[in-house]
Amino acid sequence: MSIVEDTARAVAERYSIHEIRIPLMERVELYQRSSGETSDVVEKQMYAFADHDEAQTMLALRPEGTPGVVRAYIEAGLDRSDPEQRFYYSGPMFRRERPQKGRFRQFHQFGVEIFGRPDAACDAELMVMIDELRRELGLELEFQINSLGDAQCRPAFRAALLGWGRAHLHELCEDCHQRLERNPLRLLDCKIDVKKVESAPRSTDYLCEECRKHFDTVQALLAEAGVPYIVNPKLVRGLDYYNRTTFEAISGAIGSQSAVVAGGRYDGLVETLGGASIAGTGFAIGVERIALALEAERFRIKTTPDVALIAMGEAALHTAIGLARGLRQANLRVELLSPERGLKALLRRADKIGAHHALILGANELAKGVVQLRDLKSSTQREVPLAETINALAADAEIQLSPVRPLERD
Ligand code: HAM
């Protein structure tokens, strides 16, 4: 799993996004005010408990990262002193859900939150970034996008949906009866009434001029950047803070819990939580779901070393420890084997740990300033000048000099 987080971190840094660490616990009230009182996350899924303070403050294990990042941003005064900020975070989240494949009670997200960028280019760039991550991991994902409009145009859409819902109430499921009065947008992502809501109003038909322009620009920029997507007018998302752009990246390889990344714009959230009126947009990757998709596509994290280093004798060991260090600095994965055993046993050990190569250094090699480079797959061996060892290894196509553990495919 660390491959997902390591790769995401490396990609995020290239977008000039930097790490923020947020607490595992926040006040329940924070989630009620941001994720929404009627969202499943707040209503049913929080691990909440009373603190032992006098007020018995209600705390919750974080079900998601966005509210905690916004709170920290406001508390640091950044909304007023330096509003344009780009953060990523990574760590466990907790939701009391019915566990199944791809849905866990403790799971991990890698999230990104950008503040002070109301422009469509920022939304598009977040998706370009996810696409880059997808490509680096070798995954196939489909982007679905939608626009929910803003405070100006959403009331008309909401009213239309309410009207449609009331007219079709007799056809809808029990849960939808509840949703209708409390949060009619959620009718659209009902998992039972999928077919029935086909005829419901679509947010994209109600966008005001500004929201339409924003959505058109997002799409034009995605096309320009070569990121394929489809518009899914039913993509309303389960959290209340979104406006304008929402998106998900879907994997076709992992069954029903197929959204591996999800996000969108939340321009009103900083103000709702007591800060200045600052735009926000972001996403979170479900790390386990990406790992499942990698597994489904037969990718494995390479855990075998590139090199088993064998030093025969005390003097060779002194050179070997420095050589190992130099190889590791070049991002080679090196295991220095125990000097206690004989060559035969050490070669067997090198084979057992799956090393591509063995480097053998004995008294003869030391005297000549060389090392024996043995390809353990083909059992061929050649002499290489010590100073040339890295280059000789790097020439092997199977060895990737990457700081992130590479992936292998069966
Ligand atoms: P979310 O859709 O609730 O959005 O979660 C984002 C991703 O986390 C999902 O697409 C999924 O991959 C993963 N995920 C969610 N719940 C579970 C679970 N129970 N087990 C395994 N994986 C899960 C958010 O959390 C927003 N904070 C995203 C965001 C950031 N929007 C703007 N900024």
**Nearest CA-CA partner of 9 in 120, 105, 137, 121:** 137
Measure 162 CA to ligand 1 centroid, in angstroms: 27
286 close to ligand 1 (CB < 6 Angstrom):
yes
Taking the C-alpha atoms of residue 15 and residue 8, their distance in angstroms, rounded to an integer, is 11
Question: Is the model more confident about 114 or about 405?
Answer: 114
Is pLDDT above 80 for 344? yes
User: Which alpha helices (H) appear in 147-236, and where do they start and end?
Assistant: 154-167, 174-182, 209-224
CA distances from 376 to 143, 256, 271, 327 (A): 43, 43, 62, 18
Residue of 189 and 337 predicted with greater confidence: 337
pLDDT in tens, 109-167: 999 999 999 999 999 999 999 999 999 999 999 999 999 999 999 999 999 999 999 99
Model pLDDT, residue 323: 96
3-state SS assignment for residue 160:
helix
pLDDT of residue 316: 95
pLDDT of residue 1: 65
Give, for ligand 1, the residue of 43, 86, 87, 107 to mutate: max count of ligand atoms closer than 8 Å to Cβ: 107
Tell which wins on pLDDT, 180 or 290: 290
* CB of 114 sitting under 6 A from ligand 1: no
**SS3 state of residue 229:** strand
Distance from residue 217's CA to the centre of ligand 1 (Å): 25
Mean confidence (pLDDT) of the chain: 93
Convert the pLDDT of each residue in 317-330 to its tens digit.
Answer: 999 999 999 999 99
Task: Quote the ligand 1 centre to 64 CA distance (angstroms).
Answer: 7
CB of residue 282 inside a 6 A radius of ligand 1 = yes
- Side-by-side strand order, sheet with 334-336: 334-336, 307-311, 357-361, 370-375, 380-385
Mutating to test ligand 1, I would choose from 17, 71, 109 the residue with most ligand atoms within 8 A of its C-beta, which is: 109
With 0-12 / 13-18 / 19 or more C-beta atoms within 10 angstroms meaning exposed / middle / buried, residue 326 is middle
Contact 23, 54 (CB under 8 A): no
Whether the CB-CB separation of 308 and 350 falls below 8 Å is answered with: yes
CA–centroid distance, residue 284 to ligand 1 (Å): 6
65 in ligand 1 pocket by Cβ < 6 Å? yes
Nearest ligand 1 atom to the CA of 97 is: 19
Ligand 1 mean position, distance from CA 149 (Å)? 21
**Tens of pLDDT, residues 353-397:** 999 999 999 999 999 999 999 999 999 999 999 999 999 998 887
Q: Encode pLDDT of 304-318 as tens digits.
A: 899 999 999 999 999
DSSP per-residue string spanning 276-344? -S--EEEEEEEHHHHHHHHHHTTEEE--S-SEEEEE-SHHHHHHHHHHHHHHHHTT--EEE--TTS-HH
| 197 — pLDDT class (breaks 50, 70, 90) | confident
Name the residue at shortest CA distance from atom 2 of ligand 1: 262
C-alpha 154/C-alpha 148 separation (Å) is 7
Q: How far is the CA of 130 from the centre of ligand 1 (A)?
A: 14
Of 29, 60, 36, 41, the C-alpha closest to 103 is: 41
